[in-house]
Amino acid sequence: GDSVTQMEGPVTLSEEAFLTINCTYTATGYPSLFWYVQYPGEGLQLLLKATKADDKGSNKGFEATYRKETTSFHLEKGSVQVSDSAVYFCALEKYDYKLSFGAGTTVTVRA
């Protein structure tokens, strides 16, 4: 079945450091790919998405490119802030409309 594997955490960084969270997927066909973020005490929020190969999703300084050849959708940010501390989830969706999530990566940014 469809699945998402993402980098295990926790990840601890200093402010202004570069962040990468790896995400790979297994799915037949052409899924849409997403990154969601969960801040402490809040619900999931869509961070960015890409719906076809080579698409780049971007938002709030975060970027991810849909790589079909490597079945990957790695999340990157060039300079993190303390406010980026959260749990990040990679997810995919196919025609059946359900989202399949990875296990999540906890990111802590220190001042």
Q: Are 37 and 87 in contact (CB under 8 A)?
A: yes
Span 45-104, contacts to other proteins by CB under 8 A: 45-46, 49, 51, 89, 91, 93, 96-104
**What is the Cα–Cα distance from 31 to 74, expressed in whole angstroms?**
15
- Is residue 11 at the binding interface for other proteins, with CB under 8 A as the rule? no
Length of the chain: 111
Q: Does 19 bind other proteins (CB under 8 A)?
A: no
With contacts defined by CB under 8 A, name the span among 16-24, 33-41, 59-67, 69-77 that binds other proteins: 33-41
Judged by the rule CB under 8 A, the positions of this chain that interact with other proteins are 4, 32, 34, 36, 41-46, 49, 51, 89, 91, 93, 96-104
